């Protein structure tokens, strides 16, 4: 894509609806495009992770990032879809005859102020969903009605970096902070011990309680630690919180060899980050092929070969039976010397509060969690559940799903905030999305299926330059891409149209 000086102008005929033209205005990267016939010009770099928006997509009044699918309002530049929160600069556009020129930066547009809320909104959980809900409410002027209760000592942060940039030493701790929900009351290191539905309050212990009119449960998930001798040792690590990442980084500084239990996305991301810290890593997994249960054998085998090319060793089809701080013993008697051990063996939804309050839980066979309706309401209409604990209807699949992904949780929180403010109509229907990074290979997954069995592979998985389409009941419902970010965005747009 040829870069142009957009201040000098381009021919109107070069700008079809949906086409993105990249260029410069002075020293700033700018993208110029039509959306619904209207010509718009916005800053050309995503405010989340610096992706080139020229490689993105214009759809439904938004400009979408090719890397992590952040969304920006085409007219105002507002970051309307996480993981981005900061807006894009917008520029004046001058159409003179057959020429379109981009002018100076325009003043920022404040988000629409919603009607005053009289309800007291209490959010339990400061992770992706809880923070996104509080931030969106605050952004629209309702911060004073919000109380966010988090049991973590750290203010809301980007949890995805714990297994990626921060663990690998490529990001500083302070850089992980998420935007403060201005005007909201945020209480850290605060554990909610119960919910009194009749009195409409949450209990914090020592007789303290916080009253609510609307309660939002965003309690997230917690790591599952497999059972083996030595599992309770201090040198057995899990990775969910920033404190977990701090402990693992400290251990990695002193160690030379690590064992990762599990070949899930989180386990393999941890392996890549520890390799980046010059540790020798062995992955132990009861699966024969990494990621096979979600990505299929083709992509799983490619990812294994990629990790092996970086020095990672695999013990597949095996389970760990003991750890003594110096070596792990596998179920076949093999001993592996190591200095530290990390379990990346999945998570379980934290539903204890909801269950104790008598809220309806989803069937464990369907993924568990808290059952919610299309408005993200639990069986108590004054209580909502969002994020990793929510089992919510998917309008494309025709049944409820529970998805443990960062952006899904953020989108749930943002949608619920807009719903409470009266800014959206209809039901929650966002398309699930997540990404996973392995060295220089990035995977994008759009949609959801229960099993990867019905799949079609297009392209070359080894390059990687591919799209794997997954079907449920004969209809394509998800895609996993490598090197085809545009295809992932287009599939997401097409799923939305359903």
Which tens digit of pLDDT belongs to each residue from 241-266? 999 999 999 999 999 999 999 999 99
pLDDT of residue 2: 53
First to last CA, the chain: 31
For the stretch 34-70, pLDDT in tens is 998 899 999 999 999 999 999 999 999 999 999 999 9
pLDDT of residue 112: 80
What are the helix and strand counts (H, E) for the chain?
Answer: 9, 37
Instruction: Select from 466, 487, 491 the least CA-distant residue to 478.
Output: 491
Alpha-carbon torsion angle 269, 275, 280, 283, nearest 10: 10
Give CA separation, 422 vs 144, 180, 227, 366, 493, in Å: 17, 22, 47, 31, 24
Instruction: Extract the tokens encoding 274.
Output: 């520890």
* Beta carbons within 10 angstroms of residue 337's beta carbon: 12
Instruction: Select from 410, 459, 437 the least CA-distant residue to 67.
Output: 437
b/e per residue, 70-101, with b = 16+ CB within 10 A? Answer: bbbbbebbbbbbbbbbebbbbbebeeeeeebb
pLDDT of residue 1: 45
Would you place residue 116 in the very low, low, confident or very high pLDDT band (cuts 50, 70, 90)?
confident
For the stretch 383-401, pLDDT in tens is 999 999 999 999 999 999 9
In whole angstroms, give the CA distance from residue 423 to residue 262. Answer: 42
DSSP code of 358? T
Which residues 6+ apart lie within 8 Å of 263 measured at CB?
A: 283, 285, 287, 290, 291, 304, 314, 316
Would you place residue 114 in the very low, low, confident or very high pLDDT band (cuts 50, 70, 90)?
confident
In whole angstroms, give the CA distance from residue 6 to residue 26. Answer: 9
Instruction: Decide: pTM greater than 0.75.
Output: yes
pLDDT of residue 3: 72
Q: Which helix (H) or strand (E) holds 75?
A: none
Q: Which helix (H) or strand (E) holds 36?
A: none
Q: According to DSSP H, which parts of 57-183 are helical? A: 128-139, 165-168
In whole angstroms, give the CA distance from residue 104 to residue 25. Answer: 8
For the stretch 400-457, pLDDT in tens is 999 999 999 999 999 999 999 999 999 999 999 999 999 999 999 999 999 999 999 9
Domains defined for the chain, CATH in brackets: 4-105 (2.102.10.10), 121-222+348-420 (3.50.50.60), 227-339 (3.50.50.60), 440-497 (3.30.390.30)
- φ and ψ at 144, to 5 degrees? -70, -15
Give CA separation, 377 vs 158, 182, 194, 201, 435, in Å: 26, 25, 18, 17, 28
Long-range contacts of 5-12 (CB under 8 A, 24+ apart): 6/30, 6/32, 6/41, 6/101, 6/102, 7/101, 7/102, 7/103, 8/101, 9/96, 9/99, 9/100, 9/101, 10/99, 10/100, 10/101, 11/98, 11/99, 11/100, 12/95, 12/97, 12/98, 12/99, 12/100
Q: According to DSSP H, which parts of 222-375 are helical? A: 242-254, 265-276, 292-295, 297-309, 352-356
For the stretch 142-164, pLDDT in tens is 999 999 999 999 999 999 999 99
For the stretch 177-212, pLDDT in tens is 999 999 999 999 999 999 999 999 999 988 899 999
For the stretch 2-43, pLDDT in tens is 578 999 999 999 998 889 999 999 999 999 999 988 999 999
In whole angstroms, give the CA distance from residue 5 to residue 108. Answer: 23
In whole angstroms, give the CA distance from residue 413 to residue 139. Answer: 13
- What is the mean predicted confidence (pLDDT) over 321-331? 97
DSSP code of 53? G
Provide, rounded to the nearest whole percent, the portion of the chain with pLDDT above 90: 94
Instruction: Select from 92, 109, 102, 100 the least CA-distant residue to 26.
Output: 102
Instruction: Extract the tokens encoding 256.
Output: 């030379």
Residue bearing tokens 């389409």:
469
b/e per residue, 125-150, with b = 16+ CB within 10 A? Answer: bbbbbbbbbbbbbbbbbbbebbbbbb
Q: Strand pairing of 327-330 and 320-323?
A: antiparallel
Q: By the 8 A CB rule, do 298 and 468 touch?
A: yes
pLDDT of residue 81: 98
């Amino acid at each position: 894509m040829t870069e142009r000086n957009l201040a000098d102008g381009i021919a109107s005929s070069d700008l079809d609806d949906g086409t993105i033209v990249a260029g410069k205005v002075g020293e700033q990267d700018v993208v110029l495009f039509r959306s619904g016939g209207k010509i718009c010009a916005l800053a050309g770099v995503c405010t989340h992770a610096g992706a080139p928006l020229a490689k993105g997509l214009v759809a439904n009044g938004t400009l979408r990032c090719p890397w992590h699918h952040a969304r920006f309002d085409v007219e105002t530049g507002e970051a309307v879809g996480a993981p981005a929160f900061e807006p894009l600069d917008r520029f004046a556009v001058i159409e003179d005859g057959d020429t379109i020129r981009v002018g100076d930066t325009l003043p920022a547009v404040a988000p629409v102020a919603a009607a005053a809320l009289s309800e007291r909104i209490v959010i339990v959980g400061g992770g992706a969903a809880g923070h996104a809900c509080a931030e969106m409410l605050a952004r629209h002027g309702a911060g004073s009605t919000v109380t966010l209760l988090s049991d973590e000592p750290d203010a809301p942060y980007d949890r995805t970096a714990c297994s990626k940039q921060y663990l690998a030493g490529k990001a500083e701790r302070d850089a992980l902070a998420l935007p403060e929900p201005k005007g909201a009351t945020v209480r850290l290191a605060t554990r909610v011990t119960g919910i009194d539905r009749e009195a409409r309050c949450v209990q914090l212990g020592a007789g303290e309680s916080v009253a609510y009119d609307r309660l939002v449960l965003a309690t997230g998930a917690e790591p599952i630690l497999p059972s083996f001798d030595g599992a309770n040792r201090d040198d057995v690590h899990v990775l969910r919180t920033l404190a977990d990442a701090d402990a693992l980084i400290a251990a990695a500084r002193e160690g030379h060899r690590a064992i990762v239990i599990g070949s899930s996305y989180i386990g393999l991301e941890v392996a890549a980050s520890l390799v980046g810290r010059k540790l020798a890593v062995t992955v132990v997994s009861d699966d024969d092929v990494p990621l096979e249960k979600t990505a299929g054998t083709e992509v799983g085998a490619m990812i294994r070969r990629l990790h092996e090319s970086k020095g990672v060793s695999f013990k597949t089809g095996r389970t760990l039976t003991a750890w003594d701080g110096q070596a792990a013993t596998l179920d076949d008697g093999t001993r592996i010397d190591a200095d530290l051990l990390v379990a990346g063996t999945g998570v379980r939804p934290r539903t204890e509060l909801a269950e104790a309050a008598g809220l309806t839980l989803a069937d464990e066979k369907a993924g568990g969690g808290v059952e919610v309706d299309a408005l993200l309401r639990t069986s108590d209409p004054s209580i909502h559940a969002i994020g990793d604990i929510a089992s919510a209807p998917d309008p494309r699949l025709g049944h409820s799903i529970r998805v443990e992904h960062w952006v899904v949780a953020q989108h749930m929180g943002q949608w619920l905030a807009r719903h409470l403010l009266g800014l959206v109509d209809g039901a929650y229907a966002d398309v699930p999305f997540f990404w996973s990074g392995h060295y220089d290979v990035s995977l994008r997954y759009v949609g959801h299926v229960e099993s990867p069995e019905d799949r079609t592979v297009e392209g070359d998985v080894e390059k990687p330059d591919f799209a794997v389409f997954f079907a449920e009941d004969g209809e394509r419902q998800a895609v996993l891409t490598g090197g085809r970010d545009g295809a992932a965005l287009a599939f997401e747009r097409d799923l939305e149209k359903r």
